[in-house]
Amino acid sequence: MIWALSSSKEQADSQRNNAEKLHDKAIAILSADVLRSSNSRIGQGLSWDTLAQQTYKAVCEIGAFKHFRWVIISFATVGALVVSRPGSDSKRSAFLIFDPTELEGSWIAKHPGDMLGLTTCLVSTTARSLIKLAVAPPATVDDNSLTDALITGIRDGLICMRALYRGGYYTDNAHADPNREPRKYDDDDINQTTKWLTSGIKDAYPASGLKADNLPFAKVTVEYPDSKGSWNNTMSHPTADHELGDAIALPLVRARMGVSDRVDLGVTGGADPRSNYGVAGVEAKIALLRQGPGRPVSVAIRPTVSALIGPSEVFVGNASLDLSVSRRMGAWAPYVGGSSLASLGVERSKDVDLKDEALTRSVVFGGVAFEHRGLSVAAEAEHGKLTSVSLRVSARF
């Protein structure tokens, strides 16, 4: 039994009651916007990994979904998230079918206009794929064959959505012209188009040129909770409310030695004990001006190069240069400064083909250091797009 869930509370309650009676046989299909209307915390304009994680978490937290065998969340014409057994902590799983060349909303932004019935396309093609499996089943019908049928239905649905969006509805058997002007549609149009969709999308819209074998749809597995999977190991979720919280604590060890009276060289390393990623880097501290008679402050620069270590699917490297001004007052030394950073991310996964990403940003920082008999304690706050705090304890030999 397949439902395209409604945002209407009365209809949703009725659908949930029916799903309870058909436990382990019901499939819910709805758009991400309908899910957002339930006050689920799902952002927009997100990368696929962040969007999948937020949507997965939202689905698993909604009690109405616990009786469904599958819940399919549609991201319009570019992807869909399939959550299996969202009500079971031990058996739940999910995978994402998506177009790696697009983001949610990006395809529609390139094709101005609006269209009714996109979710109906997904319902129709998913039902058709499962019916074909039931009519001509393989030797063994198991979770793998059911999953393959869902994938085929979703891929067909995404293709169908694009064809429908560009071609519109028809009341006769004429093929859709992707360049035609949009026209008004009525219930008869919708009913007729739905009939065509269930009979096969290649027969319904051959003129559109949209075929499954020339669209770059990819499948990836989404883990939950994300502390167990590669999503959290390879990506950053600074605003997401997930299992690791909205902040990441990363202990670091730093060793530094002086090579001259003005230059120190050092190495840094650390790892998150709850995951399998960490960072490693090298740095130098160069004194440009030392506090003394006629010089009320000290000025130094610090170039740093660091990289993410652990994950095999992505490389992330950072280079920064900061300038700091400090003044020592007995055992205390307050300081302020600014830093410019450049980061490069390179995807190395076999499942997707994403472009490299580079960005630059600037931050300001300030703190205070206390030193006594070779022991130093420093507290620092850094503010940019994100805010971070750190506490450093060091000993001098």
Strand order in the sheet with 298-309: 252-258, 263-271, 278-289, 298-309, 314-326, 332-347, 357-372, 375-383, 387-395
What's the pLDDT score for residue 371?
A: 92
Residue 188 and residue 216: Cα distance in Å, rounded?
Answer: 33
What's the pLDDT score for residue 69?
A: 87
Residue 254 and residue 13: Cα distance in Å, rounded?
Answer: 57
Peptide bond just before 225 cis, omega within 30 deg: yes
Residue 266 and residue 135: Cα distance in Å, rounded?
Answer: 67
What's the pLDDT score for residue 139?
A: 64
Residue 63 and residue 69: Cα distance in Å, rounded?
Answer: 13
What's the pLDDT score for residue 193?
A: 44
Residue 244 and residue 234: Cα distance in Å, rounded?
Answer: 14
35, amino acid identity:
L
* Average pLDDT, consecutive stretches of 10 residues, N- to C-terminus, the chain (397 residues): 53 56 76 87 82 86 83 91 78 83 86 84 87 74 82 85 76 50 46 43 35 52 47 40 53 90 93 80 95 93 94 88 95 95 87 80 95 91 87 84
3-state SS class at 279 = strand
For the entire predicted model, the pTM comes to 0.48
Question: Between vectors from CA 386 to CA 381 and to CA 389, what angle results, nearest 5°?
Answer: 25
265, amino acid identity:
L
**Strand residue runs (E) in 42-118:** 70-74, 79-84, 93-98
Nearest to 394 by CA among 377, 379, 382, 373: 377
Q: Which fold has domain 252-395?
A: Porin (2.40.160)
Expressed in angstroms, the distance from the first to the final Cα of the chain is 72
3-state SS class at 372 = strand
Phi/psi at 159 (5° precision) = -65, -45
- Identify the residue whose tokens are 């880097």: 281
Structure tokens at 81: 């998230």
How many residues can be counted in the chain?
397
Q: Where are the domains of the chain?
A: 2-224, 252-395
Q: Helix axis angle, 118-135 relative to 143-167, nearest 10°?
A: 140
Residue 391 and residue 377: Cα distance in Å, rounded?
Answer: 7
User: Contact at 8 Å (CB) between 285 and 300?
Assistant: yes
Residue 277 and residue 27: Cα distance in Å, rounded?
Answer: 36
